[in-house]
Every structure is written in structure tokens, then in C-alpha cells.
Amino acid sequence: MKRRTLLQYGGLGCSIALAGCFGDAPGSGETPTEGPSDTPSVNETTFSVTRRQSGSQTSSATVTFDGDQVVVEGTIWGADGCKTADLIEAAYDSGADELSISVGTTEMTDAGDMCTQAIMEIDYRATVTFANGLPGTVVVSHDTGDGQSTVTTATR
């Protein structure tokens, strides 16, 4: 009788004593942490308008891979003198290894009530700084009010 009691409670005691000892064993449900990720990730994004002048409906962009940065310099057009360029999105898709940069036009905050009726050429510069490498592909699109259109695609 005492032997059954010992086996019954002894097994329970061993289970409690060993609980957690095998937590790092393969298949335990825990994911071992490793060093930093090897996939590129965005650290910082900057955007600035470099020049505005009357002109034509120009929509162009160039992409440069420079060290840990992707630099996009482009020109988008605005429908009138109250328009300026704005970064709509800069998103990196690690599965596709693709950076998508979308630039649009918006009303200037200090435009007032009167705007020239001239088409504006708006030059801009977008810089995306990465850690762990650069994306393989960069797609730049513009939206001047009539929907997104791809301006350029660059591969490294």
C-alpha cells in the first residue's frame, strides 16, 4: 500500500521538480532569439520640396542607392499655384523585397484664398534610410488628383 502511495505522489513530485527544465528543448513552443534580423528594415524617412515653379504637367523620378539610403528625386505637377508635393507613403514589403514610395499633391497650408491658375512643377527629394541592407526594388508612383500612376521602377 505504501508503495502505491509513494509511486502516486513520487511521480507528481518528479514532474513538478522537472517542470521548466526542458523549456528550451526543440518543439517546446518557444522560439529561440537570434541576433539582429538579416532583412532590410526602414530606420528613417525624410521628404522635402526643393523647388516650385510654373511649368508643365511633368511627372518624373530618379532612384539612387547610396550606402544605407534610397534617394528619390522627382518632379510632380500641381493643378494650380496653391499645390505642393506631399509624401503619401513610403512602405517596405520584406516578402517582395520592395520599397514603394508614393508622392501626391495637396493644398499648401498657407495658400490663402487666391491661387494662380498656372500648372506648377514641384521638385522633391525623398530619402529612406535602411538597416541591414537595401531593398532589391523601388517603385515610385505619383498621384496628381486623378489616381496613382507608376513613374519609375528601379532595381539594385
Show the 3-state SS of 19-44. Answer: CCCCCCCCCCCCCCCCCCCCCCEEEE
Alpha-carbon torsion 94, 99, 104, 106, what sign?
positive
Q: How far apart are the first and last CA of the chain?
A: 77
Full-model pTM: 0.74
pLDDT tens per residue across span 116-143 = 889 999 999 999 999 999 999 999 999 9
Amino acid at 74: G
- Dihedral sign, CA of 110, 61, 44, 67? negative
Q: What is the pLDDT of residues 20-33, one digit of tens each?
A: 544 444 454 555 55
What are the tens digits of pLDDT across the range 72-122?
Answer: 999 999 999 999 999 999 999 999 999 999 999 999 988 777 888 899 999
